[in-house]
Chains A and B, each alone.
Chain A
Amino acid sequence: MVRKELIERSPLRILEKSIHGGVGVGNIGVIASRKGTGKTACLVHIATDQLLQEKHIIHVSFSGRTDHIINWYEDIFAEIARKRELEDAMDVHDEIIKRRVVMNFSQDGITAKQFLGSLRAMINDGNFAAKTIVIDGYDFEKGEPESLVAIKRFAEELGLTIWFSASTHREDPRTNEEGVPLLLCPYVDFIAVIITMQPTEHLIKLNLIKDHERYVHEDLHLMLDPKSLLIAREA
């Protein structure tokens, strides 16, 4: 399969359709689930899809080690390339990694201002024309809505789309009446799209909770394939 076809047939096109064209510039999307369900895999798949479309992405992590993240990209890319029998996979790989940067922070030691300062330095000084930023491992429990507002303003100013992952409590599956995990309720006005991941017996389903102005509770008919850790159409 050539790259163009691969992009067109990506299950992420289904997601985009469901949320009316995507999260949108200047907006924030969140994938929420409890720990260990595969949020990082989803984010990396979304980011890789952007890379294949020749867009620049910044992957922000709070995990302490960047080599783990880079390995995630290697694995997800290898799975996509294998599954879709991508032509000239090595050349595509070498070419797309030039448009990816991993930035790692320790959330404890850093303010939203410093954080955005570093992103700005990367985009402006580093001349890195990012269009999408994925932020993995941000602790919404410790964080504050003001920080998210600052991040949203930053996205609006620089024309970015931002994806977050959010870890909900394993023991606390509670949501508000619209289905928004309690953890995200203080932030919900600043988030355009919320997707939750729901483990069932054999697979992990993706549900759409918030689609811009609308609260929905919609089955996306997408799942995270437990073997390849790719987002896939539900069989």
Chain B
Amino acid sequence: MAIDISQMRNIGISAHIDSGKTTLTERVLFYCEKIHAIHEVRGKDGVGATMDSMELERERGITITSASTNVTWKDHPINIIDTPGHVDFTIEVERSLRVLDGAVLVPCAVGGVQSQSITVDRQLNRYKVPFLAFINKADRTGASPLKVRTQLREKLGHNAVMMQLPIGLEDEFEGLIDLITMKAIYFDGDNGERIRNEEIPANMVADAEKYREELIDAVSMFSDELAEAFLEGGEVTEDQIHDAVRAGVLGREFTPVFIGSAYKNKGVQTLLDSVIRYLPAPPEVTNTALDLENDEATVDLSSDNDAKTVALAFKLEDTNYGQLTYIRIYQGTVKKGAELFNTRSRRRFKVGRLIRMHANHMEDITEASAGDIVALFGIDCASGDTFAHPDLNYSMTSMFVPNPVISLALNPMDKKSSDNMGKALNRFTKEDPTFRTHVDPESQETIIQGMGELHLEVYVERMRREYSAEVETGMPQVAYRETITSRGDFNYIHKKQTGGSGQFGRVAGYIEPFEDGDYEFVDAIKGGVIPKDYIPSVNKGFRMAMEKGPMIGFPIVGVRAVINDGSTHPVDSSDMAFQAAAIGAFREAYRKSKPRVLEPIMKVVVEGPTEFQGSAFASINQRRGIILSSSEDGTFSVIEAEVPLSEMFGYSTVLRSLTQGKSEFSMEFLKYRRVPQSIAEDLQTKYQEERKAQAARA
């Protein structure tokens, strides 16, 4: 069955962990009649919400990976991408945002706009995703949708305006007032499936009129027609308001605010109506790719089915039937049996099984159009790969992938676990570019690297649960770096004469700090004193020397190496000799160039009741943190700080005990900064001792 793409919506539900996103998704699926019973996230029946495909997520009540689900609401096909809420998994959030055309931002009516909502908002901005806001949990004690609306304005700078008013709040939350139709809406039946429209309760008429006026006033700037009608006091039609709201949403200049309680089955259908009414269909969004043939110039993609195919693999999943690859098609069609080209791996492949994923089953299809989100079976690829027509060498905008800042050593308990661990690591590295793994050549241990303690913990747990790989983990290790802070000259001769042909190479030049990247090599050799053939050898030697710095054994970054002189021997010079000369030269210069140790600094946000603010300040201070700011509104406070990652291990436990579990924190990598001298010395001493111990063992 062909799907009308102009009716389609690709949406994500983005929110802070406990704002009830999964419950909302569950209700959406239910109302779209795709599933027949509603399960609670932490339900007693042990079934769990349909979207949470992993056991681990079910146990924690949070969603870690995204999966796309196709539903239909009033003849509109909707692909829902369930986005993870935790900052440690932002690469997954960002990858999902890449494929969305619109989003629903879900703040909790009690908790309001918290740090995570701010992170999510920043991501929506980065990918220019239009969105609606749905203030959930209006039935909870302390619910205040109007306060949250104000927070959307003040904390996120949104032009946020109520589209609905709640009738009652907390345990008296009964229904909604639609400020466009000016009707009261109630949700009857066991699951709120029957919608009943009534007159607005008399005591709320004045409020409703006031907020309706505010709404029309706010959106009139997006429609001349509406502005005119409004100013002249004439009749304003519902369609005029809808059109103006839509224009404001698509231009990302207006945030319509809806209210409800997914848990109490209120407000979900009206939200769905608004999703199809205000959020864009795929053809309304301009997407671009990078042309790899043309110096990565951006090219606009067209949602034309006749154009040559461009699609992005944004999510991999292991199933009983093999690897499932979720793709978003941006241009052209994907047909069963057609040939596509993976522009990263440079490999062609044939499309085998093509699947549309529903909440509880998969449907085999033969063709999918531009704008759609579908899945392929049995394709060997990594997340983030671009699939294109063999004629096109396009890549979807490369996603920013930060370098990992933390590592952990893994030791499998037995042979079986060792094999399974290998499988698991292979899968995880494909799924998540911020997760990396290698074997340490010295200790022979498997090392995993990632963006934070929790990030790695989740993968270790997944290994155990999904792959039955029992592993012991070492202490988390911070990814330090070394760098230089001044110029250092070198003039080094590598010479060896041990019978047979010898080795000879001389390189001269200098190294200096380089701010725009990790490394730059400059060949300033005049008159061929080092033959062209050996220049790459010198470059390679420098790179090798930088892999492990002499101070604490971590990679050296921020270096420009310039060679401007040297000499060769007609017989004894070789590739090897020049590599060795470069390594020696680098070490010679490095000592002179005031090397320093760098450490990853995290941006940390601590949120909690103001009464614990002092403890939070102290805990940051004790961790060499710099408090940038604190904000409080009487009862609740938010602290932003920069703290070295090395000081953040175990912070969640510390914070919990300091604040009776009432504060929470999030962190993300910010930058590398110089380590204070005393700590650098400690690290050096430790490194030297380790080396000695290793040498003694050998």
Asked if B629 and A104 make an inter-chain contact with CB atoms under 8 angstroms apart, the answer reads yes
Asked if B155 and A121 make an inter-chain contact with CB atoms under 8 angstroms apart, the answer reads no
Known: A65-B154, A114-B634. A126 touches B621 (CB 8 A): yes
Binds A, one of B42-50, B173-181, B611-619: B611-619
**One of B613, B629, B673 near A118 (C-beta < 8 A):** B613
B445 CB to nearest chain A CB (Å): 36
B626 CB to nearest chain A CB (Å): 5
Q: How far is the CA of A213 from the CA of B157 in the complex (A)?
A: 44
Asked if A101 and B632 make an inter-chain contact with CB atoms under 8 angstroms apart, the answer reads no
Asked if B125 is at the interface (CB within 8 A of a chain A CB), the reply is: no
Give a binary string over A116-155; 1 marks a CB under 8 Å from any B CB, 0 the rest: 0010111011111000000000000000000000000000
Known: A98-B626, A126-B620, A128-B621. A121 touches B631 (CB 8 A): no
Chain B residues closer than 8 Å to A127, beta-carbon distance? 618, 621
Chain B residues closer than 8 Å to A21, beta-carbon distance? none
Asked if B626 and A104 make an inter-chain contact with CB atoms under 8 angstroms apart, the answer reads no
Chain B residues closer than 8 Å to A97, beta-carbon distance? 626, 628
**One of B615, B626, B632, B673 near A105 (C-beta < 8 A):** B632
Interface bracket on B = 20 to 34
**Those of A59-75 within 8 Å (CB) of chain B:** 64-66, 69-70
Asked if A109 is at the interface (CB within 8 A of a chain B CB), the reply is: yes
Asked if B154 and A126 make an inter-chain contact with CB atoms under 8 angstroms apart, the answer reads no
Give a binary string over B645-685; 1 marks a CB under 8 Å from any A CB, 0 the rest: 00000000000000000000000000001000000000000
Asked if B627 is at the interface (CB within 8 A of a chain A CB), the reply is: yes
Asked if B618 and A126 make an inter-chain contact with CB atoms under 8 angstroms apart, the answer reads yes
Asked if B640 is at the interface (CB within 8 A of a chain A CB), the reply is: yes
B615 closest partner in A (C-beta):
A125
Asked if A102 and B629 make an inter-chain contact with CB atoms under 8 angstroms apart, the answer reads yes
Q: How far is the CA of A101 from the CA of B642 in the complex (A)?
A: 12
Chain A residues closer than 8 Å to B626, beta-carbon distance? 97-98
Q: How far is the CA of A128 from the CA of B621 in the complex (A)?
A: 9
Count of chain A residues with Cβ under 8 Å from any Cβ of B? 26
Asked if A110 is at the interface (CB within 8 A of a chain B CB), the reply is: yes
Most chain B beta-carbon neighbours within 10 Å: one of A110, A126, A128: A126
Known: A121-B617, A126-B620. A64 touches B628 (CB 8 A): no
Asked if B629 and A124 make an inter-chain contact with CB atoms under 8 angstroms apart, the answer reads no
Asked if A103 is at the interface (CB within 8 A of a chain B CB), the reply is: yes
Q: How far is the CA of A126 from the CA of B617 in the complex (A)?
A: 4
Asked if B632 and A118 make an inter-chain contact with CB atoms under 8 angstroms apart, the answer reads yes
Asked if A18 is at the interface (CB within 8 A of a chain B CB), the reply is: no
Known: A121-B617, A125-B617. A65 touches B632 (CB 8 A): no
Asked if A106 is at the interface (CB within 8 A of a chain B CB), the reply is: yes
Q: How far is the CA of A120 from the CA of B103 in the complex (A)?
A: 42
Known: A64-B155, A65-B155. A122 touches B630 (CB 8 A): yes
Name 30 A/B residue pairs within 8 A (Cβ), A-sorted: A65-B157, A66-B628, A66-B631, A69-B629, A97-B626, A101-B629, A102-B629, A103-B629, A103-B630, A103-B631, A104-B630, A104-B631, A105-B631, A109-B633, A109-B634, A110-B632, A110-B633, A118-B613, A118-B632, A118-B637, A121-B617, A125-B613, A125-B614, A125-B617, A125-B618, A126-B614, A126-B618, A126-B621, A126-B627, A127-B621
| Additional pairs, 4, CB under 8 Å, beyond known A106-B634, A127-B618 | A70-B629, A105-B633, A126-B621, A128-B617
By Cβ-Cβ distance, the 7 closest A-B pairs, closest first, are A126-B617, A109-B634, A121-B614, A125-B614, A66-B629, A102-B629, A104-B631
